[in-house]
Amino acid sequence: MIMAGRTRIAPLVQVLVLGIVTLLAGTASQLLRDNPIAWTEDWSNRVLAAAMEAGLPILTAEEAREVVDSMSHIVLDARPLSDFDAGHLPTALPLPVDDLETHQFNVLPMLTPDQPVMVYCSGLECDESIALGTFLIQQGYTNVALFAGGITEWKDKGYPVE
């Protein structure tokens, strides 16, 4: 009877010891790394950093409003079509990142390589617009800007949506 109890406890102790050893090894590795992995990350800062790394100028909500009002840029919405249909910036065209293969041929022929383009998505927690902006740059478009605040900030400012 005693033997049966020990055999049930032994695997639990092994799992517990293995978990503790793993935790200690991971922590030690993190402390000894020259470039440690962030334990937490502010997603909005990650999006802004990625935009800068991709070479995408970042527009404020006020600058985005001027772009829309002046019609100085082609405005591209990187969100899924269902989100676009639910409401988008005035004059925006849908170019959903989740289906670029299908939709790029509807939009890209309208653009010239130096055409001013503004891309946006849901907001600072969204990286679809960065993916779209990067894609456009890779395709040879040279005047692409990012409205990082996206539709969320646009609506928060009380700006009109279509």
- In order of 67, 92, 126, the CA distances from 78 in angstroms are 17, 10, 10
**pLDDT for 6 beyond 80:** no
Give the torsion through C-alpha atoms of 149, 155, 159, 162, to 10 deg.
110
Model confidence at 35: pLDDT above 80: no
In the prediction, which pLDDT does 1 show? 45
CATH tag, 43-156: 3.40.250.10
Judged by average pLDDT, the poorest of 20-34, 80-94, 104-118, 130-144 is 20-34
Sorting pLDDT into bands at 50, 70 and 90, what band is 17? confident
**In 10 A of CB 46, how many CB atoms?**
15
Higher pLDDT, 36 or 54: 54
What integer pLDDT is reported at residue 108 of this predicted model?
92
Would you tell me how many other CB atoms lie within 10 Å of the CB of residue 97? 23
Report the sign of the C-alpha dihedral through residues 58, 73, 64, 42, in that order: negative
Mean pLDDT to the nearest integer, 17-46: 75
pLDDT digits (tens, 9 = 90+) for 84-131: 999 999 999 999 999 999 999 999 999 999 999 999 999 988 889 999
C-alpha–C-alpha distance, residues 56 and 52, integer Å: 6
Q: Report the predicted TM-score, pTM, of the whole model to 2 decimal places.
A: 0.74
Residue 5, both tokens: 């109890």
The mean pLDDT of the chain is: 88
